[in-house]
Structure 1
Amino acid sequence: MTLTFDHPPHPFHEQKKHSTTVESRDPHRLPTFDSTSLTAPTEPVLYLPPLLSSLPDRFPSVDVSSEYPPLVTETRLPDIDPASLSLHKALHRFRPLNEDYAAKPYAEAFNWSELALPLEDEREWYCVVFRSKRKAGSDGGSLYEADRKAHEEAVSNGGLILYWYGIPNQETGLNLATCIWQSRKHAVAANTRPHHIRAMKLAAESYEIYDLERYVLRKAPSNYGVTIEPFVGGDVGW
């Protein structure tokens, strides 16, 4: 269900388009996210959770009280380091600050200032951001399926902590999707996987525009919070 890599975007997060008639819905009910509901919804999607990679079997389920509970993958990460586990828990509360997040700078689009990690943690993570606009009339079914497989492939091979797939702005059609990796090496390695390669081939003809941005998410030992900084080269994370 995701776009996760150091490359242009996959389709899953781009499929949401309003039908001409939408039904009212309970905003507290979690909607179904699949190729049908996002391609031809019968009601507006008012809730958009982050998609977190499930933890390795040896870790208990994370029970974090949140107004915005996340979705989780069926596939589990093979491993995760202690600081990344702290980040994983904090990201249960990850959300955009407003509906115009796709037009905002990355550091201003989400609630980074609300995320808190243990004071002693010191770590950096690699973030990939995709700003895009789908071509009118492009087919989403096969792209969705390829994207879903690419995401599960990335989780099983390790390193992917979170994927936010976004919903295109209903007026501009612009979307912002992002993923957070334990390291840049994990993201680069995912580029060579077969499902990712197939998804990229299908996605190449489906976008009118897209831009790729890279950032470093950093946690210093003297602060509970995190910062977002532009990626300028070199290794990130481990």
Structure 2
Amino acid sequence: MTVPILDPPTPSKPLPLETTTNPNLIIASPYTTPPHLLDLTTLTTPYSLLARALTHLTPITPSYATAPYHLAFNWSSIISTLRSLLPPPPSPTTTTTTTTTTTTTFPETSYYIIVFRSRIAVSTDRLQLGLMDEEAHKEAVKSGGLLKYWFGTPDAEGRNLATCVWRDREDAKRGGAGKGHAQAMMAVRGLYKEWRVERLSLVVGEGAGEWRIEEWTD
């Protein structure tokens, strides 16, 4: 099972879009060292553009840990940012007999989302959990296809949410196959009072003109 791992000891914060002299390396998680950066050159256009837009992902309600996922984050703003990143479509080519219409620069595209909702004892020492989470994220980045990883801060009752946006489910499976992820999952079963996983699909329409989040179906 591939899930965002744990509740690391520090909350995520808004981060700049580009973090080094190489504009193709971006921060796509709370971790900012080189092994955790996302290389946009490994992605085709619909995925690299969404990854850039997702650097602005932020919750829009204090109750994001329990709110419906599509209402927990600024998805409308994310898609608006995505549209702003699209290159202008080429002009139609006109001849004396025909007009050739070019295809859109952004076809309808689906993305795979994992949501990990949890409740942990407030007294739990989260330092070791955070270290395991960081190692698991490094493995996921190396495997490829992880567009965004975000986690929040446990509320007064210990409830929290973590989420991953992947290129597709196969990428998520590969990303969860490492030793670090296995160790973290063992910790999940022993330290969390409760936890559950949601598997969703983000579908962005042609030209990023519309979007929806729905349950993932095989």
The TM-score range, normalised by the shorter chain, is 0.7 to 0.9
Distance 2:18 2:192 in 1: 26
Deviation at 1:216, TM superposition (A): 0.5
For the pair 1:49 / 2:34, whether they are aligned, the reply is no
**What pairs with 1:173-212 in structure 2 (closer than 5 Å)?**
173-212=158-197
**Alignment-derived partner of residue 5 in structure 2:** 9
- Amino acid in structure 1 at the alignment position of 2:158: G
**Alignment-derived partner of residue 164 in structure 1:** 150
**Alignment-derived partner of residue 134 in structure 2:** 148
- TM-score where L is the length of structure 2: 0.75
* SS in structure 2 at match of 1:6: coil
Point out the structure with the larger helix share: 2
Q: For 1:112, which of 52, 75, 96 is the aligned residue?
A: 75
Spell out, residue by residue over 1:129-153, the C-alpha distance to the aligned partner (whole angstroms, 9 max, x if none). 0110112432322221111111011
- TM-score where L is the length of structure 1: 0.69
For the pair 1:88 / 2:51, whether they are aligned, the reply is yes
Instruction: Show structure 1 runs of 5+ residues with no match.
Output: 16-37, 39-44, 63-69, 234-238
Distance 2:129 2:31 in 1: 21
Instruction: Show structure 2 runs of 5+ residues with no match.
Output: 87-103
Deviation at 1:176, TM superposition (A): 1.2
Distance 2:17 2:199 in 1: 19
**Alignment-derived partner of residue 212 in structure 2:** 227
Distance 2:18 2:116 in 1: 19
Deviation at 1:224, TM superposition (A): 3.0
Q: 1:77 to 1:181 in 2, by over 3 A?
A: same
Q: CA RMSD in A?
A: 3.1
Deviation at 1:49, TM superposition (A): 2.9
Deviation at 1:7, TM superposition (A): 3.2
Q: 1:146 to 1:86 in 2, by over 3 A?
A: same
Q: 1:59 to 1:52 in 2, by over 3 A?
A: closer
Distance 1:60 1:6 in 2: 26
Report if aligned partners of 2:150, 2:164 keep a CA contact under 8 Å in 1: yes
**Alignment-derived partner of residue 124 in structure 2:** 138
Deviation at 1:218, TM superposition (A): 1.1
Report if aligned partners of 2:17, 2:52 keep a CA contact under 8 Å in 1: no
- Give the count of matched residue pairs: 191
Detail structure 1 runs of 4+ shifted over 4 Å in the superposition: 50-55, 70-73
Percent of aligned positions with the same letter in both sequences? Answer: 31
Q: 1:209 to 1:216 in 2, by over 3 A?
A: same
**What pairs with 1:30-69 in structure 2 (closer than 5 Å)?**
38=10, 48-49=13-14, 60=24
Which protein is bigger by CA-based radius of gyration?
2
